[in-house]
Amino acid sequence: MDNEYMDSRQNESSLSGTGNFIHSLINEDLKGELNKVHTRFPPEPNGYLHIGHAKSICLNFGLAKLYGGKCNLRFDDTNPAKEDTEFVNSIEEDIKWLGFDWEDRLFFASEYFEKMYECAVLLIKKGKAFVCDMTAEEMRNARGTLNTPGTESPYRNRSVSENLELFERMRNGEFKDGEKTLRAKIDMSSSNINMRDPVIYRIAHMTHHAAGDKWCIYPMYDFAHPIEDAIEEITHSICTMEFEDHRPLYDWFINEIDFPVKPRQIEFAKLNLSDTIMGKRFLRALVEEGKVDGWNDPRLITLSGIRRRGYTPESIRKFCDMIGVSKANSVVDFAQLEYCVREDLKDKTPVVMAVLDPIKMVITNYPEDSIEMLEIENHPENEQLGKRKVPFSRELYIERSDFMEEPPKKFFRLSVGKEVRLKGAYIVCCTDFVKDENGVVTEVHCTYDPETKSGLNSSGKKVKGTIHWVSVPHAVPVKAMLYENLTIKDENAENGYVFNPNSLVAADNCMCEPSIKGARPMDRFQFMRNGYFCVDSKHSTDENIVFNRIVSLKSSFKPNI
Ligand code: ATP
Ligand code: MG
């Protein structure tokens, strides 16, 4: 690799502030014989992708981009048991949505079954693999422990020709599931249990979603994965920490089979999010038990869930960048993810007024049939987002929580005798309120001061609070889904958490200003003082708009800069 290229690349890496231990390892490799970087993202198509996978996607595609290399998408579909094309499609969609492109490099590990079989035959011929008749239980008992070596299989010294014949008969379906396995012949006394003659092929009379009934023997993950990487000439096989102890076995296969490109496995720590269970098993159970609205329920941290909720791909990429990669396991505060979402939305999202929990306000001195069209900016700082006209009238909806019968000190909103500014309109003073027979406040009465019109305010009057409002005759009723954490801590639960029954609260009676009419699925708005909202892509219609709250406005996370 020429020096100029190396220099520009290193600059890019340090300039973007993304230098991490993986970059250092790759930089070392590039100083030697290696002259390209080729990575892959290898999902198993047995569920939907989640935010943890996004970290791996950003890392693998990001490395390829940084080093001017390539990144493949490879479905690791070697296990016939639980895979499905529904998952293949959703995974492709999610990666594209995140903003990454595998171009023409879409592969399926099952396409390599024949090649894997040949590799196994090669190992047998080299005397490095044997057919074993031990049952799973016998093998478990002979495996030894961390402190004691294992015992060699009585079938370990079968001749090459006998092994070749038996392996072929395995392939031909002459044996039942579990009757025989093919094992690598390595070292039963290795201190690394993964090296103790691991099984590399098992018999499973099962239909594969892509290969059909062609095979009744299937390769084990530890054998298949390095071969898949080597076939695709992957240079750096990035995976998570639980595979660290498997690396010697990975290297053993790569060396014994003698591929032209020897991929290097590098492990990094998985993403964990506070109070969030990420595993596919848990997600699948929620979906199958009907506790959530499918794999893309906006409470789930699946990529399709957070997409439907309204998170942007930019915010996910920013988040993955910010958390970085390391080998140390840690838990990232969920608030940091939300911070990235707010940071991305804050300058580009138009602000509208919507009242989540409405109560009627009557401006008693405002003319009964008068309507004013007030011009209000669509964003307090971003002028490019323009302005809109909002109708103002005698009867408005305001938030129930903006009025208090007996306010505490420092309540700068409404109570009898107190003044507040109505956003983009006038200062009003509360004069009275009405209660129903249950003591619930149903109306707030105010008077307005015509001299305080926004932008003109010839009165010179100032007030501490500004509240949002929606004109009653013009209001558009919508449904707003408000979310909380999907799980709550419970010491007695299997994984420490149980489903939170309050994780979804629907504000059924939300009232929006009329400019919201015509909002399309996935349109995003800031509801003034109430958070960021996105039109739901599943249930929203032109007549009945449904919003998902993406995130509230207040952050508990402070970035460290
Ligand atoms: P899960 O544990 O959620 O079921 P998985 O590891 O079985 O996920 P795969 O389809 O095998 O899912 O994962 C594809 C890639 O994504 C792998 O390289 C895996 O290491 C990576 N990955 C999975 N979970 C995380 C995570 N939480 N953080 C970072 N990378 C992850
Ligand atoms: Mg997996």
The string of pLDDT tens digits covering residues 106-115 is 999 999 999 9
Provide the pLDDT for residue 280.
Answer: 84
Chosen CATH of 351-475 out of 3.40.50.720, 3.40.640.10, 3.30.1330.50, 2.40.240.10: 2.40.240.10
Q: How much distance in Å is there from the Cα of 336 to the middle of ligand 2? A: 26
Q: How much distance in Å is there from the Cα of 43 to the middle of ligand 2? A: 7
Provide the pLDDT for residue 458.
Answer: 83
Q: How does strand 504-512 pair with strand 427-435?
A: unpaired
Task: Give percent above pLDDT 70 in the chain.
Answer: 96
305 lines ligand 1 (CB under 6 A): no
Domain boundaries, the chain: 36-268, 283-345+478-512+517-551, 351-475
DSSP three-state, residue 125: helix
Tokens 């869930």 belong to residue: 305
Provide the pLDDT for residue 332.
Answer: 96
Provide the pLDDT for residue 205.
Answer: 97
DSSP three-state, residue 23: helix
Report the pLDDT averaged over residues 168-179.
98
240 lines ligand 1 (CB under 6 A): yes
Report the pLDDT averaged over residues 177-190.
98
CB-CB contact of 462 with 427 (8 Å):
no
Q: Is the pLDDT of residue 1 over 60?
A: no
- Which ligand has an atom closest to residue 83 CA? 1
Q: Which of 3-17, 69-83, 294-308, 451-465 has the lowest mean pLDDT?
A: 3-17
CB-CB contact of 123 with 226 (8 Å):
no
Tokens 């003073």 belong to residue: 429
What element of type H or E holds 417?
none
153 lines ligand 1 (CB under 6 A): no
Provide the pLDDT for residue 45.
Answer: 92
Sequence letter at residue 518 = G
Sequence letter at residue 428 = V
38 lines ligand 1 (CB under 6 A): no
Tokens 């290696």 belong to residue: 34
CA 78: distance to chain centroid? 24
Q: How much distance in Å is there from the Cα of 322 to the middle of ligand 1? A: 19
73 lines ligand 1 (CB under 6 A): no
- Which ligand has an atom closest to residue 44 CA? 1
Beta strands in 149-191, from DSSP E residues, in sequence order = 181-184
Give the chain's mean pLDDT. 94
233 lines ligand 1 (CB under 6 A): no
- Which ligand has an atom closest to residue 271 CA? 1
pLDDT digits (tens, 9 = 90+) for 523-557: 999 999 999 999 999 999 999 999 999 999 987 77
Provide the CATH topology of domain 36-268: Rossmann fold (3.40.50)
pLDDT digits (tens, 9 = 90+) for 445-490: 999 999 999 988 788 889 999 999 999 999 999 999 999 999 998 9
Q: Is the pLDDT of residue 299 over 80?
A: yes
Provide the pLDDT for residue 83.
Answer: 66
Angle at 543 between CA 541 and CA 548, to 5 degrees: 50
pLDDT digits (tens, 9 = 90+) for 256-276: 998 999 999 999 999 999 989
CB-CB contact of 166 with 141 (8 Å):
no
Report the pLDDT averaged over residues 48-73.
97
Q: Is the pLDDT of residue 15 over 80?
A: no
Q: Measured from the CA of 242, which atom of ligand 1 is nearest?
A: 20
Provide the pLDDT for residue 497.
Answer: 87
Angle at 303 between CA 46 and CA 82, to 5 degrees: 5
Protein residue with least CA distance to atom 9, ligand 1: 43
User: Longest Cα pair distance anywhere in the chain, in angstroms?
Assistant: 102
Say how many residues make up the chain: 561
Distance CA 38, CA 74 (A): 13
Protein residue with least CA distance to atom 26, ligand 1: 52
pLDDT band at 560 (very low <50, low <70, confident <90, very high): low
Sequence-separated (6 or more) residues with CB below 8 Å from residue 212: none
Q: How much distance in Å is there from the Cα of 242 to the middle of ligand 2? A: 10
pLDDT band at 8 (very low <50, low <70, confident <90, very high): very low
Distance CA 6, CA 23 (A): 12
Q: How much distance in Å is there from the Cα of 51 to the middle of ligand 1? A: 10
Provide the pLDDT for residue 537.
Answer: 97
Q: How much distance in Å is there from the Cα of 294 to the middle of ligand 1? A: 20
Q: How much distance in Å is there from the Cα of 53 to the middle of ligand 1? A: 5
Q: How much distance in Å is there from the Cα of 44 to the middle of ligand 2? A: 6
Distance CA 147, CA 163 (A): 31
Distances (CA, A) of 39 to 33, 71, 232, 238, 326: 17, 5, 9, 7, 18
Provide the pLDDT for residue 10.
Answer: 41
Sequence-separated (6 or more) residues with CB below 8 Å from residue 79: 44, 46, 218, 221
Report the pLDDT averaged over residues 67-80.
95
269 lines ligand 1 (CB under 6 A): no
pLDDT digits (tens, 9 = 90+) for 188-197: 999 999 999 9
pLDDT band at 84 (very low <50, low <70, confident <90, very high): confident
Q: Mark 387-425 as b/e (b = at least 16 C-beta within 10 Å).
A: ebebbbbbebbbbbebbbeeeeeeeebbbbebbbbbbbb
271 lines ligand 1 (CB under 6 A): yes
pLDDT digits (tens, 9 = 90+) for 482-525: 999 999 989 998 888 888 989 999 999 999 999 999 999 999 99
Q: Give the closest residue to 166 by CA, choosing from 220, 212, 115, 217.
A: 217
Protein residue with least CA distance to atom 27, ligand 1: 52
Provide the pLDDT for residue 55.
Answer: 97
Distance CA 187, CA 128 (A): 11
Protein residue with least CA distance to atom 23, ligand 1: 53
CB-CB contact of 225 with 112 (8 Å):
no
Provide the pLDDT for residue 561.
Answer: 55
Is the whole-model pTM more than 0.85?
yes
- Which ligand has an atom closest to residue 50 CA? 1
Q: Which tokens is 128 given? A: 């490095």
Q: How much distance in Å is there from the Cα of 82 to the middle of ligand 1? A: 16
Report the pLDDT averaged over residues 332-361.
97
Chosen CATH of 283-345+478-512+517-551 out of 3.30.830.10, 1.10.1160.10, 3.40.50.300, 1.10.3720.10: 1.10.1160.10
Q: Is the pLDDT of residue 6 over 60?
A: no
Provide the pLDDT for residue 482.
Answer: 97
Please classify residue 347 by burial: count the beta carbons closer than 10 Å to its beta carbon, then call 0-12 exposed, 13-18 middle and 19+ buried. exposed
Provide the pLDDT for residue 459.
Answer: 85
Distance CA 304, CA 535 (A): 15
- Which ligand has an atom closest to residue 281 CA? 1
